[in-house]
Structures are given as C-alpha cells and as structure tokens.
Amino acid sequence: MKPPSSYLEEGHGAIVIPLGCSELHHEVELGVVIGSKCQDIKEDDVMKSVAGYALTLDMTARDFQTEAKKKGNPWAMAKCFDTALPVSRFIEKSEIQDPHNVKLWCKVNDELRQDGTTADMVFNIPYLISHISKYFTLWPGDLVLTGTPAGVGPVKDGDVISAGLGDLLSMKFKVGAKM
C-alpha cells in the first residue's frame, strides 16, 4: 500500500531518503493500473479490469523494515514515506502485448543492478489481483505492484537511478538526502 504522498513522477523532484534512514534500497517493478472495480474477482476476469501499467521503483528503507520485522510491526514506515514510489507515465494496456513476459531493468549511476523479466514473477497478475480482491476492493486508478527481479540494492545521496521496461520506456531519478 502506498499513500499518494509516496508517488513521484519523473521530473518532479528527487527520491528523498527518509529522516533517520541509513539503508535505502531500489526495487524496479511493473505496476498494474486497475480500470474497473475488483471485488472478489475471478482470475479469468482480472485482465478485463486492467486499464494499463506503469513502471515503478518501490523504494524501501531497509533498516526501518528490518527493525519492524524484528518487532512484528507493519512495514509502513519502510515503504510509505514521501517519494517512496517513483512512477513512469501511464502505459496503455495495448502498449504491452504480454505483461507476463516483459523485461525490467534498473541501473544505479549507469551500473546495471537489476535485469529480469516479469516471466519470473512468483505470482502472475490474475492470481495476484484475484487474491488481493478477496480481502479488499480495488478501484479504478489503484496501482498494484507485481514484484522485483534479483539485484535489489542500496542507493545513497547523489546517486542516479534509471529504470526501464524493455525498450518501451525508461525513467531517471536522482536520490537526495532529506534537508
């Protein structure tokens, strides 16, 4: 779950390291944009409810997450801080022929860190959305992140993260410390 304050569009500022965070990690992911209400939806009907996609960076304050895990607490502070979700432009559903086989990549300072495909996702999109919709309703405009390829790692103040979805699009964000 990400609050609206966590969204960061390219060109609208830097990814801000949260106050007190000493270990911020990048995770490139395909985001699925919901187009119609999904409540206890069957897997066979899910793709009819998908409006499109977005390339995302699911930023994680790993030290916050580790501490929360130890205490059995939710991970909200680790995942929901301001600028924790850099996002690309909206990608029309028709622009991606097979969302279950698209390349995802992420570079930090031009060094390739993540290079994978959505074919390696643990759960496919129909299963993921069907399962989630059994517990809470998804509404048009909601964004569901699908998982990240191997290579997740740290970033620091001054780093530049670039990510892409095959040859379809790429995005770039600078990382900055909280002032």
- Nearest Cα residue to 23 out of 160, 172, 175, 143: 175
What digits encode the pLDDT tens for the residues 136-173? Answer: 999 999 999 999 999 999 999 999 999 999 999 999 99
Is the pLDDT assigned to residue 1 strictly greater than 70? yes
pLDDT band for position 82 (50/70/90)?
very high
**Class of 4-177 in CATH:** alpha beta
Residues 89-103: tens digit of each pLDDT: 999 999 999 999 999
Residue pLDDT, tens place only, 9-41: 999 999 999 999 999 999 999 999 999 999 999
